[in-house]
Chains A and B, each alone.
Chain A
Amino acid sequence: MPRIDWLAIAPEVVVAAALLVVLAVDLFLPRERKYWVAALAVVGTTLAMVPVILMAVSGDNYSMFDGSYVVDEFALVLKGVFLVAGYLVLLISVSYIESDRYYQGEYYLLLLSSLLGSMVLTSARDLVVLFVALELTTGPLFLLAGWRKGDLRSNEASLKFFIIGVLSTGLMLYGMSLLFGLTGELSFDGIREAISAEGMASEPVLGLAVLLILVGFGFKVSAVPFHFWAPDTYQGSPPPVTAYLSVSSKLAGFVAMLAVIYLALPAVTDFWGPALWLMAAVSMTVANLSALRQSHLIRLLAYSSVAQAGFMLVPFAGGAIATDGLSEGLGATVIYLVIYAVMNLGAFAVVIAGGRRIGSYEIPDWRGLGSYSPRLGVMLAVFFLSLAGLPPLAGWFAKFVMFRAVLISTGPAGVWLAVIAAVNAVVAFYYYARVVKSAWFDPAPDEIPEETETGPTGPLSLAMGLALVVVLVVGVFPGLATFFGDAAAALVP
């Protein structure tokens, strides 16, 4: 039996235990007490933070199973981010799921399974562990997307997501098997060394493998042209699930991509550099132009998340262009991911809270929100304008490090990508501002929507409050966010 360091896998163990407890307790709880399940899930994710923090403080690295499973700074930082994002999604879910009153236990079970998958993912250092973890993250989401069984749109969402998900998995797996066949190695370190030892960085077959893997990741992070499932799935899924999809699931795709690209394939920049450059440029542009025409808030957020994925890909391209840009690019992407996770969850929390009161996600129906509910109105403005990247809200720093990472090389490729990103940032402002305009500039409807009484709103308010504090504090003291970037950048060999 291999040596197991229990502290190192304690976060995953806690989440797995919480998952099992949720499963067992759910069987014995009467229907009106089901909210205990939610409380257990929240407690579980909170407890899982403890070993993460302990390890972060001690600063030790752990390596298990012949280096397939590693807990280093990169892994710890992202475990923390996944836990916080999961925690916020749980808070957002409580009142929504409570008001539906069915399958509560199963909902939290599946959410925790997905969370467990993404936590394992951060430590995966070979292709098999990575693949299993990534599928554990995505699998439960196929079910969650179709949670509203009676709703045709929800069915469509789930089915589309499933078919595309399986297709992308297949392509990715094909790419991975090619990579294994070429190098004879599964671990990222082994692959990297084999590529440099054999001098096959420009082998066409390797290029094919890299491109297939990138296509798979492209689906996961919903980058153009692999994004077309996103708007329908986002719109059809229950909004808390959409929040999870747009943050944790996207994050998982990016984490896998970071690990594979920076650990296994840093020498193959000739293949993935231009591919990601193109993907970033096209994602930003296409998604932003499509978002301009949306009137459904969640669909708008779907396109916005595609565009944001484009922005997150920009530092990859920057890293590929500049010789010493790899760690800079990795740090920038991680900082962007962290800030995006918080502000996007905040935006979803506001949209869910407002949607419950207004009963519609159509932007014109939200007119005058600021006048009859200033609290929600302010939150809406803060999160959407932060997504737009306006100082002094946290989003500006994400955009700033993104530009910084791509301009580190003064070559024309980097400058052009920066210019494309700059123009896109301006275009994006227009549709975020449209929501703010509707809420603040347009007069309130004659019949002001009543405050709804169903279900607890405390957790939702807590989620919004936490996200608000982070967005404001990080906006003014962005040094707090650079910690994540610096810690993660240590990954680059």
Chain B
Amino acid sequence: MDLLDSWALTLIVFLPLVGALVALAIPKEREETVKQWTLLVSVVTLVLAVVVAARFDFGAAGGFQFEVDLPWISAIGANYHIGIDGISLPLLVLSALVVVLCVIYSWHHWDEPRNPRAFLVLMMILATGMNGTFVALDLVLFFIFFELVLLPMYFMIGIWGDRTMRKIPGFRKEVETRLYAAIKFFIFTLFGSAFMLLGFLALYFKSGSGGQQSTFDIPELIARGHLFQGTFAWLVFGAMFLGFAVKVPMWPFHTWLPDAHTAAPTVGSVLLAAILLKLGSYAFIRIAIPILPETARDWAPAIAVLAVIGIIYGSLACLAQTDVKRLIAFSSVGHMGFVMLGIATLTEVGINAAIIGMVAHGLITGLLFFLAGSIHHRYHTREMSRLGGNLKLMPVMGGILGFTAMASLGLPGLAGFWGEFMALLGSYQPLPGLSTSFFRTAMVIGAIGTVLTAGYMLWMLQKVNLGEPSSEWAGKEFHDVDRYEMAAWAPLIVLIVAVGVYPRLVLGATTDAVVGLVETAFRAVGG
């Protein structure tokens, strides 16, 4: 099994890409073959991810396992260094799983202009980028994967996205939502990542100041953390913060998110919500905090403030929406606010909260976007004022929507609870050196946010699920959840319950790694 250990992660990352290339060789007309092939590739990738999880040594979750470290661009000292620890493992498995579910869901759901082959090829490239980001342990490699997800998503939104015309402030003519959303998504993310790259390069050059060879290697940079001090570290953290915060997205960099989510085709929204948003918050935990712990502590109050604003703002914005998909999109701003609040506490509890919050948000909001897509598919509208009585027209789908909304508002016993609860718990007692009263205030405001979350979710349920169906649907037949939808959703439902009841599924992997991270980062600075 040594061969597997050294190749497993590489395969998980690049198998989808190879699959995409092979799919391009299949004639466009043979749609069934393309779909079956893509499903096979994504399932094999998932199986590999599960095997890796099974062979993962949870006793040593703090260190990197399945490591590969090969020279890549020797001239600039960038290596092909990959590996996973307890922090990345749950996210990697989540990513592999969601891709499979997306392939299944899209089996019979194709937005115009169809072309399943092109869509699936993009999805596979996206999978390579996402999986790669979670295993990369070299800053250049990380940057490549982090950027690789942009192009497929750009094309997904731009080609298969929402075609309704919209008046955008500042534009003379009406434009199609998809065009505006696609370019906005791209420009925002690119802007952030350009600065992120500058930050990475600055770290690289500074890492050589101790007389050693300069390096892009993340574990090595963590070990040399003492070299990064003062204004330099503050600026570098700021540059990386721009890159990561846009991706999360944190308020006030979030404005691309509602547009992109609403305009994207269903599967695109699911992948965006479930995985892409996690790349930013994951990068905070993997790169920014361990390499620049002291500076992270300087920045923590600012991050906490933005996170709390995000929570409240996201919730209030939800209450102002009429489009159910846009409502779900804004709810992501709020949920990611909790994740960032957890990270800002810089404690074991808080960072654990962030990771379990990311996983839960991936499961729950992914499912919500699937549901929004299916609702749109049936009613051809997402306006909540025209929906209503969904539970009567489609009992099964209504039931699942109710369940997921409950999970999203953080009902104890379901996955969403732990992230919010632990983030608030973490803010009660932040890292020593951070102002306790400040974070407790944040905790109180965050708690108000949970109430608001419950408010808008219940409001949405009442509008969509309850009441009598509007007269315009009278006499129309609606087919309830079909086989493909059920196959795509069932694993998510099961996992939402499983993580809710038994959070050790995630925390069991993460705790040791997080404890190790916090200890190495803050023991040195007297935390």
Task: List residues of A whose CB falls within 8 A of some B CB.
Answer: 371, 385, 390-392, 396, 400-401, 403-404, 407-408, 410, 415, 418-419, 422-423, 425-426, 429-430, 433, 437, 440-441, 477-479, 482, 485-486
Chain B proximity of A425: nearest CB distance (Å): 5
28 residue pairs bridging A and B, Cβ less than 8 Å apart: A390-B147, A390-B151, A391-B143, A391-B148, A392-B144, A403-B197, A403-B198, A404-B201, A404-B204, A407-B198, A407-B201, A407-B202, A407-B205, A410-B232, A415-B235, A422-B198, A425-B194, A426-B190, A426-B194, A429-B190, A430-B183, A433-B186, A437-B182, A440-B158, A441-B159, A441-B178, A482-B73, A486-B75
Given A400-B197, A419-B198, A425-B194, 8 additional A-B pairs, CB 8 A: A401-B76, A404-B76, A408-B205, A410-B206, A419-B195, A437-B182, A440-B158, A441-B159
CA distance A441 to B183 in the complex (A): 11
Residues of chain A within 8 A of B198, CB atoms compared: 403, 407, 415, 418-419, 422
Digit string of B231-242 for contact with A (CB within 8 Å is 1, else 0)?
010010000000
Residues of chain B within 8 A of A426, CB atoms compared: 187, 190-191, 194
CA distance A297 to B144 in the complex (A): 29
Residues of chain A within 8 A of B148, CB atoms compared: 391-392
Report how many residues on chain B are interfacial, defined by Cβ distance under 8 Å: 36
Which 9 A-B residue pairs are closest in the complex by CB-CB distance? A482-B75, A422-B194, A441-B158, A391-B144, A391-B147, A407-B201, A426-B191, A479-B73, A426-B190
Residues of chain B within 8 A of A479, CB atoms compared: 72-75
A437/B232 contact (C-beta < 8 A), A371-B113, A396-B147, A403-B201 known: no
Residues of chain A within 8 A of B72, CB atoms compared: 477, 479
Residues of chain A within 8 A of B194, CB atoms compared: 422-423, 425-426
CA distance A390 to B193 in the complex (A): 11
CA distance A341 to B121 in the complex (A): 29
Residues of chain A within 8 A of B195, CB atoms compared: 419, 422
Residues of chain A within 8 A of B205, CB atoms compared: 407-408, 410
Q: Does B522 contact A (CB under 8 A)?
A: no
Residues of chain A within 8 A of B183, CB atoms compared: 430, 433, 437
Chain A proximity of B242: nearest CB distance (Å): 10
CA distance A390 to B191 in the complex (A): 12
Chain A proximity of B505: nearest CB distance (Å): 34
Chain B proximity of A99: nearest CB distance (Å): 31
Give A419's nearest chain B residue, CB to CB: B198
Q: Quick check: A437 and B179 within 8 Å, CB to CB? A: yes
Chain B proximity of A475: nearest CB distance (Å): 9
Q: Does B150 contact A (CB under 8 A)?
A: yes
Residues of chain A within 8 A of B154, CB atoms compared: 433
Give A429's nearest chain B residue, CB to CB: B190
Q: Does B502 contact A (CB under 8 A)?
A: no
CA distance A400 to B201 in the complex (A): 9
Give A480's nearest chain B residue, CB to CB: B73
Residues of chain A within 8 A of B113, CB atoms compared: 371
Digit string of B171-196 for contact with A (CB within 8 Å is 1, else 0)?
00000001100110011001100110
Q: Does B155 contact A (CB under 8 A)?
A: yes
Q: Quick check: B187 and A485 within 8 Å, CB to CB? A: no
CA distance A425 to B204 in the complex (A): 21
Residues of chain B within 8 A of A407, CB atoms compared: 198, 201-202, 205
Chain A proximity of B147: nearest CB distance (Å): 5
Digit string of B154-171 for contact with A (CB within 8 Å is 1, else 0)?
110011000000000000
Residues of chain B within 8 A of A422, CB atoms compared: 194-195, 197-198
Chain A proximity of B97: nearest CB distance (Å): 25
Give B192's nearest chain A residue, CB to CB: A426
CA distance A259 to B159 in the complex (A): 47
Give A483's nearest chain B residue, CB to CB: B75
Give B209's nearest chain A residue, CB to CB: A410
Digit string of B38-77 for contact with A (CB within 8 Å is 1, else 0)?
0000000000000000000000000000000000111110
CA distance A419 to B199 in the complex (A): 11
Give A440's nearest chain B residue, CB to CB: B159
Give B147's nearest chain A residue, CB to CB: A391
Q: Quick check: A429 and B144 within 8 Å, CB to CB? A: no
Chain A proximity of B228: nearest CB distance (Å): 12
Digit string of B202-222 for contact with A (CB within 8 Å is 1, else 0)?
101110000000000000000
Residues of chain A within 8 A of B147, CB atoms compared: 390-391, 396
CA distance A371 to B190 in the complex (A): 27
Q: Quick check: A430 and B202 within 8 Å, CB to CB? A: no
Residues of chain A within 8 A of B190, CB atoms compared: 425-426, 429
Q: Which of A426, A430, A479 has the largest count of B CB atoms less than 10 A from its CB?
A: A426
Chain A proximity of B16: nearest CB distance (Å): 14
Residues of chain B within 8 A of A419, CB atoms compared: 195, 198
Residues of chain A within 8 A of B201, CB atoms compared: 403-404, 407, 418
Chain A proximity of B156: nearest CB distance (Å): 11
CA distance A437 to B155 in the complex (A): 9
Chain B proximity of A410: nearest CB distance (Å): 7
A429/B159 contact (C-beta < 8 A), A391-B148, A407-B198, A437-B179 known: no
Residues of chain B within 8 A of A403, CB atoms compared: 197-198, 201
Instruction: Pick the contact of A390: B73, B150, B179, B182 (CB < 8 A).
Output: B150
Residues of chain B within 8 A of A477, CB atoms compared: 72-73
Those of B56-103 within 8 Å (CB) of chain A: 72-76
Residues of chain A within 8 A of B76, CB atoms compared: 400-401, 404, 482
CA distance A37 to B346 in the complex (A): 71
Chain B proximity of A386: nearest CB distance (Å): 11
Chain B proximity of A95: nearest CB distance (Å): 27
Q: Quick check: A430 and B75 within 8 Å, CB to CB? A: no
CA distance A385 to B154 in the complex (A): 12
CA distance A221 to B182 in the complex (A): 34
Residues of chain B within 8 A of A440, CB atoms compared: 155, 158-159
Chain B proximity of A157: nearest CB distance (Å): 32
Chain A proximity of B76: nearest CB distance (Å): 7
Q: Quick check: B202 and A410 within 8 Å, CB to CB? A: yes
CA distance A418 to B154 in the complex (A): 26
Residues of chain B within 8 A of A429, CB atoms compared: 186-187, 190
Chain A proximity of B150: nearest CB distance (Å): 7
Chain B proximity of A197: nearest CB distance (Å): 34
Residues of chain A within 8 A of B182, CB atoms compared: 437, 441
Chain B proximity of A463: nearest CB distance (Å): 22
A430/B187 contact (C-beta < 8 A), A390-B150, A441-B178 known: yes
Residues of chain B within 8 A of A486, CB atoms compared: 75
Q: Quick check: B187 and A437 within 8 Å, CB to CB? A: no
Give B150's nearest chain A residue, CB to CB: A390
Residues of chain B within 8 A of A437, CB atoms compared: 158, 179, 182-183
Residues of chain A within 8 A of B179, CB atoms compared: 437, 441
CA distance A400 to B150 in the complex (A): 18
CA distance A408 to B214 in the complex (A): 11
Chain B proximity of A443: nearest CB distance (Å): 8
CA distance A217 to B15 in the complex (A): 48
Q: Which of A418, A477, A485 has the largest count of B CB atoms less than 10 A from its CB?
A: A418
Give A397's nearest chain B residue, CB to CB: B73
CA distance A385 to B148 in the complex (A): 12
Instruction: Pick the contact of A396: B144, B158, B159 (CB < 8 A).
Output: B144
CA distance A418 to B199 in the complex (A): 11
Chain A proximity of B525: nearest CB distance (Å): 23
CA distance A477 to B73 in the complex (A): 7
Give A443's nearest chain B residue, CB to CB: B113
Residues of chain A within 8 A of B204, CB atoms compared: 404
CA distance A418 to B201 in the complex (A): 11
CA distance A430 to B74 in the complex (A): 32
Residues of chain B within 8 A of A371, CB atoms compared: 113
CA distance A378 to B357 in the complex (A): 39
CA distance A404 to B159 in the complex (A): 35
CA distance A407 to B206 in the complex (A): 10
Chain A proximity of B331: nearest CB distance (Å): 28
Chain A proximity of B211: nearest CB distance (Å): 15
CA distance A445 to B204 in the complex (A): 50
CA distance A408 to B186 in the complex (A): 29
Those of B108-144 within 8 Å (CB) of chain A: 113, 140, 143-144
